[in-house]
Amino acid sequence: MDKTFISTAIDYVNAFPHIGHALEKIFADVFARRERLLGKEVFFLSGTDENSLKNVRAAENAGVSVGEFVDRNTEKFFELKKVFNLSYDDFIKTTEERHALGAQKLWHACEKDIFKKIYSGLYCVGCEAFYKEDELKDGCCPIHLTKPEFVEEENYFFRLSKYQDYLKDLIEKEKIKIIPQSRKNEILAFINRGLEDICVSRSSERARGWGIDVPGDSSQKIWVWFDALSNYITALNFGKGGEKFENWWQNNNKKIHVVGKDIIKFHAVYWPAMLYSAGLNMPDIIFAHGFLTVDGQKMSKTIGNVINPFELAEKYEVDGIRYFFLAEFPTAEDGDFTYEKFENRYNADLANGIGNLFERVFSMILKYGVENIKDAGVDEAIADLYEQTEKSYSEKMANFQFYEALKDVLLFAGAMDKYINDKKPWSLLEDKSEETKKILNGLIFSLEKIIFWLKPFMPAKMDKAENYLKNLGGQKEKLNLFPRIQ
């Protein structure tokens, strides 16, 4: 059976999740569900990064132990699975024993490229990474817009510079495919500027004793990114080896990472270098999605525009939320959320669009009688349009172009509405001709295809529609699939 391994980035748990965290999980979930519908075996992984310095400082500010702090916040991140109907197969926490064993095993496997030296540099705790002065924006981290700290200590380093040519070839020849093309170009530009060796540990003192020990040196903790990136294989029991790791990583040619555009460097440069050093196989696809803004501004506690995902899910139907984030803007680009945009999109596409089409067709079929159209064919015009739509939709879904794929579905649904208006099947409900049967059967066929296409996006709603359609002959009430938001 074809296999697909798909992972999200693991989230820092220095605060409760916001809607941007849910967005990434929904992107990956749609792809995972689509793969399963195509009959593929899927391993879908998510998790939390609990070993970062920012978690330690957040716990200190909260006046609680780091362990208590990360446990409390991790629980909220895990709740996203149930609230947004996410289909994870596993959820890894970097404080788990299986992770620590695997991270240390990876360190051992890379030891030929690890050395120790005294180093000083500018460190952004938010990014958990060092920056050069020319990489800063007005003296601040370009991502967090905060001044980095000056750090000087003796740490372990990884010989990243050794793999510059290898990494360039890897990306240029798409042995690892980076989506979208703009992120591939960004990574190649980064490599071409020249790679330097990277610091892969921090002193236990600076880490406040929190994190995974460097093997054989308890005075040092493994750098959080070296630790965190290994989660993709530690969740597969890399630490103890065996069938799961061999099956899903080493002997699988479809391994996908879904990450934010701000951490593409770590996944497309550092991670492949670590794997190559350790003699392990590479990921196959890295998809970098855009950010979510709120009313045109970056989410910020200071501004007060952070959207709580749990409150949003209480206010609106979850499938409607899932749909909005995939239909409102291209997946690889930044998108903006406002309540007005959400309600307008929901009403236009779902209540007035898909939902109205389903209601029109179901009403006519119930009046005509399901038993009267058994074994009827499908109008050639509908069959041809389906084939065209299916081809376009499938290509777009395979490349994480969910926004564009949904446009295809909406165009198909719009064509079915026009087909109904042109054929006027409501005027033929007393007509038992083969042509009338073919028209009505073609409309049932079209709804079946729309349900299949939309299942990865709105699984609960499409299950409801599918069950209604399967038992159409016995239905006594109308199906109001997407009640209009007033």
Q: Which residues are catalytic?
A: 18, 21, 124, 127, 141, 144, 298, 301
The alpha carbon of residue 262 and the mean position of all alpha carbons in its chain are separated, in whole angstroms, by 14
The neighbour count for residue 134, using CB atoms within 10 Å, is 5
Whole-angstrom CA distances from 382 to 120, 124, 158, 409, 453 are 67, 57, 59, 13, 16
Q: Which amino acid is at 402?
A: F
**Cβ neighbours of residue 436 under 8 Å, at least 6 residues apart?**
368, 425, 428
Reply yes or no: is the peptide bond before residue 180 cis, omega within 30 of 0: yes
Beta bridge partners of 336: 293
Q: Are 233 and 118 in contact (CB under 8 A)?
A: no
Distance CA 38, CA 44 (A): 15
What is the token pair recorded at 317?
A: 């139907």
Crossing angle of the two packed helices 434-454 and 355-368, in degrees rounded to 10? 140
457: enclosing H helix or E strand: none
Q: Are 389 and 412 in contact (CB under 8 A)?
A: yes
Distance CA 248, CA 2 (A): 11
482 DSSP assignment? S
15 DSSP assignment? S
What is the token pair recorded at 103?
A: 């991270």
Q: Exposed, middle or buried by CB within 10 Å (0-12, 13-18, 19+), for 433?
A: exposed
Torsion angle (degrees, nearest 10) of CA 240, 161, 288, 71: 40
